[in-house]
Amino acid sequence: DEIWSFSPSVAEGELLVMSDPGNVDQFDLCAGPGDTVYVADALDGGHIYFLRDDGTLGGFALDPPIGAPYGVAYDSLAHALFVADASTERIVRVDPRTGNWTLVATGFSEFQPCCLEIDVPGRRLYVADDGYNRVYEICLEAITAVDETAPRAAGLALRAYPNPFNP
């Protein structure tokens, strides 16, 4: 649970940014505006953390708390965070200024969201499913579901891509 910084231009230029404080499970990181690095702590569903310049963690409370944040991605167009909550099998959109969140996707059967990636210009959110080895694509601007056989995302189009090596 340490956080390291690496330089592509300096061989062996890694730098320990934050040592393991022992009471967090930093499951995922993402870049935010400026030099902000957001941290999802799987053991603390009440907060999203950010890395300060001195290597310590700051954070804000989620209102209300979620279960187990396993993945985090920053949407620079909407100025919002998307967070994968593995314990309740859902994806939420968080306002980093207030900590308030809205439900984006839920209702997946045995869904284990673990990692998120966002295509800002294409308005797509990709969700890795650790339970069934799939990747879900959520269209952030659609109104109806694209694939009627797939789980629905709250007012968003959703498409599932099964793992070809483990169907």
What percentage of the chain carries pLDDT values higher than 90?
Answer: 19
Q: How confident is the model at residue 86 (pLDDT cuts 50, 70, 90)?
A: confident
pLDDT at 73: 95
Lowest mean pLDDT among 21-35, 103-117, 153-167: 153-167
Q: Which of 33-42, 115-124, 141-150 has the lowest mean pLDDT?
A: 141-150
Three-state SS for the chain is CCEEECCCCCCCCCEEEECCCCCCCEEEEEECCCCCEEEEECCCCCEEEEECCCCCEEEEECECCCCCEEEEEEECCCCEEEEEECCCCEEEEECCCCCEEEEEECCCCCCCEEEEEEECCCCEEEEEECCCCEEEEEECCCCCCCCCCCCCECCEEEEEEECCCCC
Global pTM reads 0.78
* pLDDT higher than threshold 50 for residue 102: yes
The pLDDT value recorded for residue 122 is: 87
Average pLDDT for 34-57? 83
Q: Name the range with the highest mean pLDDT among 3-12, 26-35, 64-73, 156-165.
A: 64-73
| Mean pLDDT, rounded, for 148-153 | 46
